[in-house]
Amino acid sequence: MGEPTLSQFARPLHVAHMRGHKCAHVDQRTLGHVTVRRLLDREPLLRVAERGVEAPLADLELREMETQPRARLVVSGSAPLPVAVFEQMQALIGQAPVERYGMTETLITVSTRADGERRPGWVGLPINGVESRFVDDAGEPLTPDGSSIGELQIRGTTMFDEYLNRPDATAESFDGDWFRTGDAVVIDDGGFHRIVGRQSIDIIKTGGFKVGAGEVEAALMTHPAVVECAVVGASDADLGQRIVAYVVASDVDGTILIEHVAALLSVHKRPREVRIVDALPRNAMGKVQKKLLS
């Protein structure tokens, strides 16, 4: 067989997100090691560190990827990858990134495959040993059709056992042996998953429709003037909730952005209001705090 090829990987991460990479990302045929280096001398990564870890690739100078034409595999996770960034990466490095989904409680459970389809905005199929389903508000399983939104539930060999010393929280998190992720998902008839967002804050019920905030955010991000955005639902006497977008942008009117989304998505998914802001509120880990947007 000869000597196995030594693989290297580079991954800009907040140190708290290193998790199991020290032992998981080594060639199974060799004894590998991981060196953690400070990369703050690299300007793009410095800007990522200053902003946090919520959407690092959106801030990364993607053109630096042109210097890595020999990369065999590019993987994205931990935060949604905007479709526009997916497409830029594909154009610059000649391959589409592999996207995957998981939680602390479940590890990685859904992923596109290195040798399979890689679809912008979608995170792929359950990995071996994992099953998924999605349910409506009453807990009834939905039929995968590529458009219905439901709560993603997972079961399989990667699952945690329990929350330590929190039996009530553990019981509330399971429906039989199905773990309630709290994430909203769309599944198509081929089993591909698209994560819409958190059930508690990213699903907006407006005018009798369920709208995923992430879908609206992705549409907004395709406008060249938009740097970043967050979409929330605000109480509305007529609609139940109205879609409000908080946008960091330059030299653009909110009306233009509303029309931009309406042209890309169904009209009922357009923001009813756009608020231009200097920055989005974030926690210490860099995640956008939508509950502070009002």
119 vs 98: CA distance, rounded Å: 9
The answer regarding whether domain 203-292 maps to CATH 3.30.300.30 reads yes
The domain ranges of the chain are: 1-51, 68-198, 203-292
Which range has the worst mean pLDDT, 54-63, 100-109, 139-148, 166-175?
A: 54-63
User: What superfamily would CATH give domain 68-198?
Assistant: Luciferase; Domain 3 (2.30.38.10)
Q: What is the pLDDT of residues 114-141, one digit of tens each?
A: 999 999 999 999 999 999 999 999 999 9
Q: Quick one: pLDDT at residue 294? A: 67
Phi-psi region of 101 (alpha: psi -120 to 50; beta: other; left: phi over 0): beta
What stretches of the chain show up as alpha helix (H) in DSSP?
21-24, 43-51, 56-59, 83-93, 167-172, 213-221, 254-264
Rounded to a whole number of angstroms, the distance between the first and last alpha carbons of the chain is 62
- Please provide residue 108's backbone torsions phi and psi, each rounded to the nearest 5 degrees: -75, 130
How much is the mean pLDDT over the chain? 82
Given a cut of 50, is residue 80 above it in pLDDT?
yes
Percent of the chain with pLDDT over 90: 62
The yes-or-no verdict on residue 55 having pLDDT over 90 is no
